[in-house]
Homo-oligomer: A and B are copies of this chain.
Amino acid sequence: MATGRTHRPATRSRGIPEATVARLPLYLRALTALSERSVPTVSSEELAAAAGVNSAKLRKDFSYLGSYGTRGVGYDVEYLVYQISRELGLTQDWPVVIVGIGNLGAALANYGGFASRGFRVAALIDADPSMAGKPVAGIPVQHTDDLEAIIEENGVSIGVIATPAGAAQQVCDRLVAAGVTSILNFAPTVLSVPDGVDVRKVDLSIELQILAFHEQRKAGEEAPGEGGADTTPPAAPPAAAVRRRGEESEQGPDGDVPAVMPA
């Protein structure tokens, strides 16, 4: 039970809200593009459009960083690029390791956007001995046995897990034990980590399921009277669990999908 926390209540450390932090990279990318086109300044309106957000939100986000920006003019692109980079910690180099060099791991290793912004692939690690030494994206794959040594030697604090689900927790534990305190998890599993370790997950399957939900919603609203069960009615509920559905006063008052009553 007390193995480790999975949720992260400690995020609200100081100052910048988590939602804002998550948008900073977006702003940074838009600003970088402007910088490459030698645009000297942008208004919040323009930048917001480029980043795909609301201009008020953008201004509030920036207000957490400080009062950069000039009223009546806008923001100095170069200056803002630097400020956001600094805030995100991109003025220094972050060595990362990728564990699990299958299809996905290899794709990640080859991904250009990695190195572009302060991140450097320090090592590729795989459990398959036959992969050892084989270069992927110009970097020789190393064996899992050396994981701890690699982490320590390179001062790695960010690890990327691209292993099968079954191996993820074990790899995670070893990474954490070796000193990694931030993990990006591509394996479809919930990772347990001790306090102080950040985990972010990227899960293709989950994203698709969320899309499917909305997709179904759209289809059901256009063509009503179709969104019922179309496969075999499933196992019956334990006893008399199927009863109300939107009865208390909550929920929408329109023709809802009735709870499937089997048996």
Chain A residues with CB under 8 Å of chain B are 1, 6-7, 11, 13-15, 21-22, 24-26, 28-30, 41, 49-54, 66-70, 73, 76, 78-79, 81-83, 86-92, 94, 96, 102-104, 106-108, 110-111, 113-114, 116-119, 157-158, 181-184, 188, 190-192, 196, 198, 200, 202-218, 221, 229-231, 234-239, 241-246, 251-252, 254, 256, 259-260
| Smallest Cβ-Cβ distance to A164: which chain B residue | B112
Contact of A25 among B54, B210, B246 (CB under 8 A): B210
Q: Hey, which chain B residues are within 8 Å of A200, CB to CB?
A: 207, 210-211
Chain B residues lying within 8 Å of A1, measured Cβ to Cβ, are: 49
Most buried by B among A14, A81, A89, A192: A89
Tell me the complex Cα distance, A102–B107, Å: 8
A181/B25 contact (C-beta < 8 A), A111-B204, A205-B113 known? no
Specify the chain B residue showing the minimal Cβ separation from A162. B107
